[in-house]
Amino acid sequence: MTNKHTEHSSYREKLLEHLFVGELLKLSWTNGDCEIEVAKPEVDNSGYDVIIESNGVVRHIQLKASYHGGKTSKQKVHVKLGTKPSGCVVWMYFDEETLELGPYLFFGGAPGERLPSIEMAKIAKHSKGDSSGYKAERPNIRELNKSDFTVYKSVSELHAALFGVKA
């Protein structure tokens, strides 16, 4: 039997992105402010998947996802993400059956601050080798370890880390 998560990985990736944005929008709705704005890049050459603004803070967010129990211990991040206002990475975990999201891992600066420098992190390599098996370096991509991320159990905790708390 083919694993749906493997066979339809692009579909799942887009679905998880929509669920993530939906969770933030739902939080904004239930808080009564309805102020979150969402935009998508036409071209993806700086490493972010979505732009979200709330509480006067614009975040360029690279989304990563792993299922509960997955063995992934690092993520690849584009160095150009650090040139974007409040660039950050959100690594969300999900349940394989229900697609319930959480916890959320976050790598980034405080609201309004740039991504901490990743220039000194390990340079990533291509996942597939050439005909001789050589895996070339990807000079604009760095590997971040799971320990580099801060864990937030709920979308409301993540929202506070992303956009701060209103006074």
Angle of helix 9-31 relative to helix 155-163, nearest 10 degrees, comes to: 80
pLDDT in the model for residue 115: 93
Is residue 140, in this structure, part of any structural domain at all? no
pLDDT in the model for residue 113: 95
The per-residue pLDDT of the chain, averaged, comes to 91
Q: What single letter denotes the amino acid at residue 7?
A: E
Q: Global pTM? A: 0.91
The 10s digit of each residue's pLDDT in 99-128 is: 999 999 999 999 999 999 998 899 999 888
- CATH at 151: 3.40.1350
**121 close to 144: Cβ distance less than 8 angstroms:** yes
**How many domains is the chain built from?**
1
Its domain, for residue 51, covers 4-117+145-163
Distance between CA atoms of 64 and 142, rounded to whole angstroms? 14
